[in-house]
Amino acid sequence: MTATTTAPVLILLGPPGAGKGTQARMLEEDFGLIQLSTGDMLRAAVAAGSDAGRAAKAVMEAGGLVSDDIVTAILAERMAQPDTAKGVILDGYPRTDVQAESLGDILARMGRSVTAAISLEVDDDAMVGRIAGRYTCAACGEGYHDNFKQPSHAGVCDKCGGTAMKRRADDKAETVRDRLMAYHAQTAPLIAYYEGRGLLTRIDAMDDIAAVRTALAAIVHKATA
C-alpha cells in the first residue's frame, strides 16, 4: 500500500513578477516545504537539451505557455519523488484549467489534495519594472534586482558568496508583456476555479517582501493547523 501524507500542497497564483518564486523560497525556509517551480524544471530541461526542453525552448522565449502534456509530465515525475511528502509549494503550476484538473488527478492517486491556493494580487503596470531588472545568483538562486535589492558587495551573493549572476532570457520587457497576456488569458481564471472550491486566499502582493511573507505564513499556519 502507498503511504499517504497530510503534508500541505500549496499553490501560488499570480502574474510573472508577483513574487511567487521569492515567496516560495521563503516558505521553504520557514516551513521546510519543497518549492516546485515548473519554470525552473523547464529551464533545466532546456539546458540539458532533453526532448521536453527542445519542445519548450521557443515557446518560453516567446513568453507563451508550454503544452499541458509536457509540463504535467514533468510535474508528475517530480511529485513522485519522496521529498514531496514534506509538503510542497507549487510555483507556476497549474497555469491552465486542464493543468488544474491534472493536478487534482495526480494528487488523488497519491491520496493527497490541494490544501490552499494563494493569489498574489498585484498591478500589472508595476510588473514590467519588477521583472526587467531582476537577476539571481547562479550558484544558490538568491534573487536580486538592479533597483530594489542589490547585494551588499556588488557582484557577490549575500547568501552563498557566489560571484556568477544570471538573468533570464524571457525577462525582456517585450516578452514580459506577452507573459502577462498569457497569464490573464489562461491562468487568472484559476483564481475563480479555486475560489469556487473554497480553497482560495488573496494577498496584496504590492506590499513589501517581508509583509507578504508574514501574510503567507499566517495562511500556511491556518491551512496546516
Catalytic residue numbers read 20, 95, 134, 168, 179
Q: Does 205 bind ligand AMP (CB under 6 A)?
A: no
Q: Provide, rounded to whole angstroms, the least separation between the CB of residue 90 and ligand AMP.
A: 9
Grid cell 518560453 is found at 60
Q: Which is nearer to ligand AMP, 194 or 218 (CB)?
A: 194
Consecutive H or E run containing 36: strand 34-37
Shortest separation between residue 177's beta carbon and ligand AMP, angstroms: 12
**Residues in region 35-54 near ligand AMP by CB under 6 A:** 38-39, 42
Q: What's the CA gap between 143 and 135, in Å, rounded?
A: 6
How far apart are CB 93 and ligand AMP at their closest, in Å? 4
The DSSP symbol for 153 reads B
Stretch that binds ligand AMP, among 23-31, 44-52, 91-99, 122-130 (CB under 6 A): 91-99
Q: Which stretch binds ligand AMP (CB under 6 A): 24-32, 57-65, 81-89, 137-145?
A: 57-65
Binding ligand AMP (rule: CB under 6 A), the pick from 24, 26, 60, 200 is 60
Indicate whether 57 belongs to the interface with ligand AMP (CB under 6 A): no
User: Measured between alpha carbons, how far is 223 from 225 in angstroms, rounded to an integer?
Assistant: 6
Handedness of CA 16, 198, 37, 156 (dihedral sign): positive
Nearest Cα neighbor of 169 from 47, 51, 72, 78 is 47
95 binds ligand AMP (CB under 6 A): yes
Q: Does the protein bind ligand AMP through residue 8 (CB under 6 A)? A: no
Q: CA nearest 34: which of 79, 99, 92?
A: 79
Rounded CA-CA distance 122/131 in Å is 13
151 is an interface residue for ligand AMP by CB under 6 A: no
**Burial zone of 178 (CB within 10 Å; 0-12 exposed, 13-18 middle, 19+ buried):** middle
- Could you list the residues that contact ligand AMP (CB under 6 A)? 16, 38-39, 42, 59-60, 63-66, 71, 92-93, 95, 99, 170, 179
